[in-house]
Structure 1
Amino acid sequence: MNFASRVLAANNDLPIRTGAPVHSGKVRSVYWLDSADSARLIAERGYAVAADAPLAVMVISDRISAFECIWHGEGGMHGVPGKGAALNAISNHWFRLFREQGLADSHILEIPHPLVWIVQKARPIMIEAIARQYITGSMWRAYARGEREFCGIRIPDGLSRDQKLPELIITPSTKGILEGIPGVPAQDDVNITRNDLLAHYKAFNFRAPEDVNRYETLLREGFEVISRELAGVDQIFVDTKFEFGYVTDVAGDEQLIYMDEVGTPDSSRIWDGAAYREGQVVENSKEGFRQLLLNHFPDPDILLNKDRMVERLALARNTVLPASVLMAVADTYVGLAEKIIGQPLHLPEDPRQEIIDILDTGFGLIS
């Protein structure tokens, strides 16, 4: 089987009719619909949103990023087979459980294809909300250097690497460059405290100070739902990133929702439970791919040192990874998705053409 042909690498050049430039991130591309198509779909599809709500088509690719670079493999594999479908299926599962258990909704209105979401435009909260249940990764490295306070939270002495923390802790960081906030450098991904959020809630796009409490509640409750469900398939939810935003509901009221993706191998660390009980850490997330890259290159500092970004980008551009590496990542992502959703994952045979056909015949969005 030619796996390369089943990979959706470029997802920002589909002939979807838009009302604004396509926004393309490392993995997802967002096609903002014009007001006429948004209003038409709301009426035709019966979405429970305001009649003039802006909508978008969000298409996930199979690209894999790590250390802020996109990686590729031999045989023309510019991504990981099944990765996009796995990420969407996992997020869809958690978002559904959140909704069913009365936590909050998401920005997703419809899922017409395994790689596609129809979404309502949200006003994002300008933080990446990190929840940590174990001490590992960058937090462990800082702890080993003697740091004991993280985002205003003090943790005790005597912890070991990969040990479970006494309690779940939230270590938020800035999403994008925010200027004019005392004590918060105007840089992306800067750690902040809960007091920063409360004192400058408007700068972070919160509607009111009490919404800081609401976001923390949704974060903790969402983490607990995922952690409990993963434990049922003997997986450990180690840490994760949540993102939140506001949407306007059909009554014209603003609601705080979950957005982006949630509880996926891209946004989380997930460990195998059986291995952990035997004293080993087996990563069932992108962290395993990161570790492989660190071990693959003779000078891993290129991947860790932000001052060497030019070298790092060149390294990723010029390195052709063995196909076996990307297929191992595929096995991790697809295998985890199937554990979570409890059934085989549908993998598109020709994802690009399938998306075009569905958005044309079912939604009238192809130019």
Structure 2
Amino acid sequence: MSLATKVLAVNNDLPIRTEQPVHSGKVRSVYWLSAADSRRLIEEKGYDVAADSELAVMVISDRISAFECIWHGEGGMNGVPGKGAALNAISNHWFKLFREQGLADSHILDIPHPLVWIVQKAKPVMIEAIARQYITGSMWRSYAKGEREFCGIAIADNLEKDQKLPELLITPSTKGILSGIPGVPEVDDVNITRDDITNNSEAFNFRSLDDIDNYEKLLSEGFDVISDALEKLDQIFVDTKFEFGYVTDKSGQEKLIYMDEVGTPDSSRIWDGAAYRDGKIVENSKEGFRQELLNHFPDPDILLNKNRMDERNALAKDNALPESILMSVSETYTGIAEKITGEKIVLSDNPKEEIIAILRDQYGLIA
């Protein structure tokens, strides 16, 4: 059996019963369940949610995106073997740790299959919260050009590339296009300050000013939980993205939760500790794939220059990457997932068939 058949590349065509269009992102597809199916599952499975909560089946794919494009490989390999299962396993591990340590719940209610979550609909906080422990990537590029203020926070002079910052830095940006916020452009993913958030808390979907403090607390405590656990594995947690939302539990209590994914190679930078001490950077995250792409193509400016998006899209569409590049990414993702969770990532022979069988036989959700 070829590796290509073990990859779940298309995840928006499953016969899951839904009355709404399937929402398909770069990596995950979301199937919103009917009110009747949501009520039935809440009752049958005993989920700790309000009886009228909306539920969804979230299916992760093995697709890989970078530089805002989806990439594919030779031999019909339209994704990275084991990537989806590795991302879900890592997120599951951290969300469970957060819950056990009394931080907050996540949107995940059930894990029917390594590629599938059943989730509760949350009202998202409209912030992508980036936490940084080292100066690297886009922050370093801006710093090297002389920028010393990031999201309203002044940064010291004389920092060096890839150096640890004096303290954890929270650099939030907008999630989606928000309108009517003074001084904040109406574009996706624009940097904002804490003052922007506190002065316009309702626009960001915060219920109260206290919840802004709570979100920052959950962000920094969540970061520390992951950083401490990775340090024991001699891995460095460099930076990550957190997302938050509100849900209502069975008792009618509204609460702030973690959502999306957390501490994964897609949403974070993770460096090998031994290599860092030797003055080298070894990436255990998607950053390594980005570097591979920059080295693979003769004109890397296409990947870096947003004014060349048409060329970039054509590059991704017309160029099948060598299998060795995708397998290197597979080893990175499955390797760090197995380190973190202590469990083997097992590739399905036919993931789509497995998912359909489980959702039909155990959840009654196949149309």
TM-score in terms of structure 2 length: 0.99
CA contact (8 A) 1:148 1:156 kept: yes
Q: Secondary structure of the residue that 2:129 maps to in structure 1?
A: strand
Amino acid at match of 2:134: Y
Q: Secondary structure of the residue that 1:310 maps to in structure 2?
A: helix
Partner of 1:81: 81
Q: Distance in 2 between matches of 1:89 and 1:343?
A: 9
The Cα offsets for residues 316-346 of structure 1, whole Å up to 9 and x where unpaired, read as: 0001100010000000000000000012123
Amino acid at match of 1:111: I
The Cα offsets for residues 80-119 of structure 1, whole Å up to 9 and x where unpaired, read as: 0000000000000000000000000000000010000000
Q: Distance in 1 between matches of 2:24 and 2:192?
A: 27
| 1:226-305 → structure 2 map (5 Å cutoff) | 226-305=226-305
Pairwise CA distance, 1:19:
2.2
Amino acid at match of 2:329: V
Partner of 1:8: 8
The Cα offsets for residues 209-235 of structure 1, whole Å up to 9 and x where unpaired, read as: 111110000000000000000011110
Q: Distance in 2 between matches of 1:206 and 1:12?
A: 31
Amino acid at match of 1:248: T
| 1:151-166 → structure 2 map (5 Å cutoff) | 151-166=151-166
Q: Distance in 2 between matches of 1:86 and 1:349?
A: 16
Partner of 2:22: 22
Q: Distance in 2 between matches of 1:274 and 1:193?
A: 35
Amino acid at match of 1:22: V
Partner of 1:347: 347
Q: Distance in 2 between matches of 1:71 and 1:86?
A: 18
1:34 correspondence with 2:44: no
Partner of 1:219: 219
Q: Secondary structure of the residue that 1:222 maps to in structure 2?
A: helix
Q: Distance in 1 between matches of 2:67 and 2:215?
A: 28
| 1:87-102 → structure 2 map (5 Å cutoff) | 87-102=87-102
Pairwise CA distance, 1:356:
0.2
Where structure 2 has 5 or more consecutive residues not aligned to the other structure, the ranges are none
Q: Secondary structure of the residue that 1:141 maps to in structure 2?
A: helix
Stretch deviating more after TM superposition (300-309 or 223-232): 300-309
Q: Distance in 1 between matches of 2:297 and 2:345?
A: 33
The Cα offsets for residues 221-275 of structure 1, whole Å up to 9 and x where unpaired, read as: 0000000000111100000000000001111121000000000000000000000
The ranges of structure 1 where at least 4 consecutive aligned residues each deviate by more than 4 angstroms after the TM superposition are: none
TM-score in terms of structure 1 length: 0.99
CA contact (8 A) 1:114 1:346 kept: no
Pairwise CA distance, 1:301:
1.2
Amino acid at match of 2:48: A
CA contact (8 A) 1:12 1:29 kept: yes
Q: Distance in 2 between matches of 1:191 and 1:293?
A: 26
Q: Secondary structure of the residue that 1:245 maps to in structure 2?
A: strand
Q: Distance in 1 between matches of 2:74 and 2:85?
A: 22
CA contact (8 A) 1:86 1:345 kept: yes
The Cα offsets for residues 38-77 of structure 1, whole Å up to 9 and x where unpaired, read as: 0000000110111110000000000000011000000100
Amino acid at match of 2:346: H
Q: Distance in 1 between matches of 2:102 and 2:262?
A: 16
Q: Distance in 2 between matches of 1:350 and 1:114?
A: 13
Q: Distance in 1 between matches of 2:216 and 2:144?
A: 27
Stretch deviating more after TM superposition (337-346 or 7-16): 337-346
Pairwise CA distance, 1:347:
2.2
Q: Distance in 2 between matches of 1:3 and 1:211?
A: 46
CA contact (8 A) 1:241 1:262 kept: yes
Q: Secondary structure of the residue that 2:76 maps to in structure 1?
A: coil
Q: Secondary structure of the residue that 2:293 maps to in structure 1?
A: helix
Q: Secondary structure of the residue that 1:112 maps to in structure 2?
A: strand
Pairwise CA distance, 1:306:
1.2
Q: Distance in 2 between matches of 1:98 and 1:347?
A: 27
Q: Distance in 2 between matches of 1:76 and 1:358?
A: 26
Partner of 1:44: 44
Pairwise CA distance, 1:138:
0.3
Q: Secondary structure of the residue that 2:255 maps to in structure 1?
A: strand
Partner of 2:330: 330
Stretch deviating more after TM superposition (272-281 or 291-300): 291-300
Q: Secondary structure of the residue that 2:165 maps to in structure 1?
A: strand
CA contact (8 A) 1:58 1:119 kept: yes
Q: Distance in 1 between matches of 2:290 and 2:28?
A: 20
RMSD between aligned residues: 0.6
Q: Secondary structure of the residue that 2:298 maps to in structure 1?
A: coil
